[in-house]
Amino acid sequence: MINRYKMAKHFTLTLTDASLTFARKTDAIAAEAPLDGIYIIRTRNRYRPS
């Protein structure tokens, strides 16, 4: 479930018999922040100017 929104790479999870803990990977979050909002759309169609 953690990777449903592809956010697993930003957290460290520790699961024991008695607890579940998590920590944010601030370096990974900071490295991806400049790319936030940039999307690439791939298509098989080729651009053909008229």
Per-residue pLDDT of the chain (50 residues; tens, 9 = 90+): 667 777 888 889 999 999 999 999 999 889 988 888 878 888 887 777 77
Q: What is the pLDDT of residue 16?
A: 94
Q: What is the pLDDT of residue 2?
A: 67
Q: What is the pLDDT of residue 19?
A: 95
| Residues in Cβ contact with 12 at an 8 Å cutoff, skipping those fewer than 6 apart | 22, 23, 25
Q: Do 26 and 12 contact (CB within 8 A), yes or no? A: no
Q: Find where tokens 């930003």 sit.
A: 10
pTM above 0.75, yes or no: no
